[in-house]
């Protein structure tokens, strides 16, 4: 739905003899040194359109890691600060409240350094194949009603149509909009719950499931992902991680069949009425993460 118009191994080693002990100790620290040397960091400030070289490549790698640039986009201009890199920098700046100039200056460098230093916060499954419900922020919307006894057996993914999570959420909480979703995933991976799972959120509109007309809203959980839907704006790494945990949990909790985890474009009537989530959404990554 476009809400507004306008992703221990045990080892054995023999006891060291006095002659070999120093060598074994030296080898033991080598992996830690190697790991530290491969850590991705932000390049120095002062890069703009037309620049090229190792520092631009380093910037691009950081933007790929954070989901603002795709690997394919980087591969077409590795080390070259072209339009795709400039657009990615602008999106990063907008999300981190830095002036959206497209120029990689001091403020942007500081924000990128901070973003790259953040540890992964998405909790792993408690057991292989088991998911716990991820942390959610309550943001109730009045735009919902009863499921009238329908069981949840479907999950529908949407893009919001903008990159402004605060604006998208305000719209879905506005009674006049008459739209909502059970959950919204912001660009930074934060998950907001607008409508409880037991309630029917208003996200799918006129719809069908596998060609059969039905009230999809009554039987589904709707998830809005903050993205402009252009097919050029990457879904962020934080979004994929949070979405995997959320969909994995919902699939497990409500025993949703894998073929009932769909996009709005798959259920909207008539066909072609909706196109979300955008064409660049990585379905393979999500399905691999949730185990099918």
Q: Would you say 28 and 41 are in contact if contact means Cβ atoms under 8 Å apart?
A: no
> 86, 208, 224, 253: which is the annotated catalytic residue?
224
Is the CA virtual torsion 224, 228, 229, 232 positive or negative? negative
Active site annotation includes 208: no
Q: Would you say 204 and 137 are in contact if contact means Cβ atoms under 8 Å apart?
A: no
Q: Got the DSSP string for 58-70?
A: HHHHHHHHHTSS-
Token pair, residue 184, equals 């919204």
Q: Which residues contact 83 (CB under 8 A, 6 or more apart)?
A: 49
Rounded Cα–Cα distance for residues 263 and 277 (Å): 6
Q: Which residues contact 241 (CB under 8 A, 6 or more apart)?
A: 7, 120, 122, 189
Catalytic residues: 224
């Amino acid at each position: 739905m476009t809400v507004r118009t306008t992703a221990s191994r045990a080892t054995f080693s023999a006891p060291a003899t006095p002659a070999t002990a120093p060598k074994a100790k030296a080898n033991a620290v080598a992996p830690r040194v190697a790991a530290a040397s491969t850590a991705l960091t932000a390049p120095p400030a002062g890069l703009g359109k037309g620049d090229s070289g190792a520092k631009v490549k380093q910037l691009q790698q950081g933007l790929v890691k954070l989901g603002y640039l795709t690997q394919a986009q980087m591969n077409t201009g590795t080390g070259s600060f072209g339009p795709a890199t400039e657009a990615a920098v602008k999106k990063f700046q907008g999300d981190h409240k830095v002036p959206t100039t497209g120029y990689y200056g001091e403020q942007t460098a500081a924000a990128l350094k901070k973003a790259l230093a953040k540890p992964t916060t998405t909790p792993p499954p408690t057991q292989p194949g088991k998911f716990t419900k991820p942390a959610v922020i309550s943001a109730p919307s009045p735009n919902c009603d009863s499921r009238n006894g329908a069981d949840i057996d479907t999950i529908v993914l949407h893009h919001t149509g903008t990159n402004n999570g605060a604006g998208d959420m305000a719209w879905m909480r506005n009674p006049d909009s008459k739209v909502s979703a059970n959950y919204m995933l912001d660009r930074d991976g934060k998950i907001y719950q607008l409508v409880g799972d037991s309630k029917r959120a208003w996200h799918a509109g006129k719809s069908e499931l596998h060609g059969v007309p039905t009230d999809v809203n009554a039987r589904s959980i709707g998830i809005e992902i903050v993205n402009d839907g252009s097919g050029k704006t990457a879904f962020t790494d934080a979004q994929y991680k949070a979405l995997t945990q959320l969909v994995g949990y919902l699939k497990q909790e409500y025993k949703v069949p894998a073929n009932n985890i769909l996009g709005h474009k798959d259920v909207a009537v008539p066909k072609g009425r909706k196109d979300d989530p955008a064409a660049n959404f990585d379905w393979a990554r999500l399905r691999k993460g949730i185990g099918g």
